């Protein structure tokens, strides 16, 4: 199979930013150069692809999301548009009716955010009981860090008034009663106990998820927290050869031995497009959910409230030692600057303690409130911040409310990181938001909130640098810079065709650019009709 692409903006993201044409052979970029010269290298059967002025560039690489969570979202009640409690109740009831959900079957509703509800509070157990008293219900916050069970859900989970809070989490109790609300470690513990969908249903959703990522121009995706329950499903996914995009998983480090054994056939190497790339753990929660662990207190009624960490120094240091000893990359969820501080400090201690020179490219996932005085140590330790920069648009106004304008303006320090020579990536944390890379680039370039506030003008970056964060830099984060991220001879033909050039449109119009075609290893896996 040979294809020759020409007559468009072919954006390489290499030092020579544009080339006239590229020749694809099988799964790789065979040659780049002038069209006439490449024709001499091509066979008689080469397919000539006229770009007609459109833009061909490296496909997008997802630096952090939850592939299985995104897949599950296709069979959950969507609460993203709900503006009050009544709409949450109605959405659940409509879902039950539309899908003929029998009594006793679990219902998961996802995507509410108390910040955008008229009540400005978490949904209540009583509300969910009204929605359906005969179905166990879990209503999940958009951040994925908290949620509410109804009475039957609590019963099914065997949560009682005497159930203790786990370290780094909370089961809320008021006036001697359960409210149904759980956050952080408590929430994470119990969602893993929910019954899984049937293999057939789950596989169908995984295929849908894959198609959706491809429609956004993405050819490499992440499973950001591989737990034991996912092991047989991912093994089946691999063996069935259903994956058309590359999927990189990061294993729950608290189950490292078990999961390494389960995935011995794809540790740090692809097997039918699946690879386990390292470990994952969490140090705090969500900024919009007010559980991101901060060095300075939140604004609001609660005085001196900083939120909290989810692990002790000793616990995270031991995990970082393990990652270094195993020479496995680790991704650590840190939103607040206090969580980032703990990660930075304990990683430095772990390296010194075991005298390790292993360069595991440790990733700071989200890094939203990583502050300027922490960047020099991030660079020194060769850590990779992966910024959830789209927060500026989606929750920037909430951050202003929680932290004040000055502190909120320092969310996702992309420009400061760039100025210090720190390589960083961007992500969407799907299913938190859609894996829309063009929107993310737009957010990084413009930094405008939903209410139209310019949030952190001095942290805006050029479109080219934003583009590198979701291509070239993301390939580096995955130790795949030799095979992905730019258009270069010998690299995989992972490409995307856009209707316009990101570098040539008005920056405010970037999010309106359309993905026309997505190509994985030379084969089209998405094409806009």
* Residue 253 CB coordination number (10 Å): 23
Going by pLDDT thresholds of 50, 70 and 90, the confidence category of residue 80 is confident
**95 or 197: which leads in pLDDT:** 95
pLDDT digits (tens, 9 = 90+) for 435-490: 999 999 999 999 999 999 999 999 999 999 999 999 999 999 999 999 999 999 99
Report the pLDDT value the prediction gives residue 197, as an integer from 0 to 100: 73
Q: What is the mean predicted confidence (pLDDT) over 403-419?
A: 98
Question: Looking at residue 99, what is its pLDDT?
Answer: 84
- 84-191 — its CATH code? 3.10.310.70
What residue segments make up the domains of the chain, in order of their start?
A: 84-191, 283-461
Banded model confidence at residue 292, pLDDT cuts 50, 70, 90: very high
Average the pLDDT over 172-196 and give the result.
Answer: 91
Nearby residues of 457 by Cβ (< 8 Å), 6 or more positions away: 409, 447
pTM of the full structure: 0.89
| pLDDT tier at 203, thresholds 50, 70, 90 | confident
Q: Which of 174, 274, 285, 184 is nearest to 220 (CA)?
A: 274
Residue 355 is predicted with a pLDDT of 93
Per-residue confidence (pLDDT) for residue 514, from 0 to 100: 98
What's the alpha-carbon Rg for the chain, to the nearest Å? 23
State the average pLDDT for the chain.
95
Q: Is the pLDDT of residue 82 over 80?
A: yes
What percentage of residues in the chain have a pLDDT greater than 90?
91
Asked whether residue 199 carries a pLDDT value surpassing 80, the answer given is: no
| Domain 283-461, CATH among 3.30.70.1350, 3.40.50.720, 3.40.50.150, 3.20.20.140 | 3.20.20.140
What residue spans of 404-469 are helical by DSSP H?
405-408, 414-419, 437-446, 463-469
Binned at pLDDT 50, 70 and 90, residue 73 comes out as: confident
> Rounded to the nearest 10 degrees, how much is the dihedral formed by the CA atoms of 313, 318, 324, 328?
-100
């Amino acid at each position: 199979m040979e294809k020759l692409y020409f007559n468009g903006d072919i954006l390489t993201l290499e030092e020579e930013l544009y080339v006239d044409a590229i020749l694809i052979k099988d799964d790789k970029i065979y040659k780049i150069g002038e069209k006439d010269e490449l024709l001499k290298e091509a066979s008689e059967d080469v397919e000539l692809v006229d770009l007609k002025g459109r833009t061909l560039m490296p496909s997008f690489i997802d630096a952090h999301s939850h592939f299985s969570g995104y897949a599950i979202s296709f069979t959950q009640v969507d609460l993203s548009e709900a503006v009050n409690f009544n709409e949450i109740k109605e959405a659940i009831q409509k879902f039950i009716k539309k899908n003929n959900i029998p009594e006793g079957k679990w219902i998961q509703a996802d995507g509410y955010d108390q910040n955008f509800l008229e009540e400005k509070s978490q949904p209540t157990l009583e509300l969910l009981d009204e929605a359906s008293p005969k179905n166990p219900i879990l209503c999940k916050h958009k951040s994925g860090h908290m949620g509410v069970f109804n009475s039957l859900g609590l019963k099914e989970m065997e949560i009682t008034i005497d159930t203790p809070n786990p370290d780094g989490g909370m089961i809320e109790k008021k006036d001697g009663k359960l409210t149904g609300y759980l956050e952080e470690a408590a929430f994470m513990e119990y969602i893993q106990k929910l019954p899984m969908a049937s293999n057939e249903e789950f596989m169908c959703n995984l295929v849908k998820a894959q198609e959706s990522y491809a429609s956004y121009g993405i050819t490499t995706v992440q499973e950001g927290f591989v737990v034991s329950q996912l092991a047989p499903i991912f093994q089946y996914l691999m063996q069935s050869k259903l994956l058309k995009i590359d999927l990189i998983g990061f294993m729950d480090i608290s189950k490292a031995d078990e999961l390494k054994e389960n995935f011995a056939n794809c540790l740090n190497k692809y097997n039918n497009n699946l690879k386990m790339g390292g470990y994952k753990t969490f140090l705090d929660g969500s900024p919009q959910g007010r559980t991101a662990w901060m060095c300075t207190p939140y604004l609001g009624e609660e005085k001196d409230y900083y939120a909290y960490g989810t692990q002790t120094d000793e616990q995270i240091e031991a995990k970082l030692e393990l990652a270094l000893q195993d020479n496995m990359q680790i991704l650590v969820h840190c939103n607040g600057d206090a969580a980032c501080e703990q990660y930075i400090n304990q990683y430095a201690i772990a390296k010194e303690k075991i005298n390790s020179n292993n360069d595991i490219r440790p990733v700071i996932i989200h890094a939203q409130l990583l502050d300027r005085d922490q960047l020099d140590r991030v660079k020194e330790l060769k850590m990779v911040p992966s910024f959830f920069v789209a927060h500026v648009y989606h929750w920037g106004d909430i951050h202003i409310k929680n932290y004040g304008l000055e502190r909120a303006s320092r969310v996702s320090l992309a420009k400061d990181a760039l100025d210090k020579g720190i390589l960083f990536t961007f992500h969407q944390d799907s299913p938190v938001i859609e894996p829309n890379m063009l929107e993310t680039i737009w957010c990084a370039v413009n930094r405008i909130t939903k209410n139209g506030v310019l949030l952190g003008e001095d942290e805006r970056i050029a479109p080219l640098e934003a583009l590198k964060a979701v291509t070239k830099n993301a390939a580096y984060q995955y130790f795949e810079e030799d095979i992905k991220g730019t258009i270069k001879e010998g690299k995989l033909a992972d490409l995307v065709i856009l209707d316009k050039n990101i570098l040539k449109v008005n920056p405010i119009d970037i999010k309106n650019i359309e993905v026309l075609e997505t190509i994985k290893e030379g084969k089209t896996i998405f094409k806009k009709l």
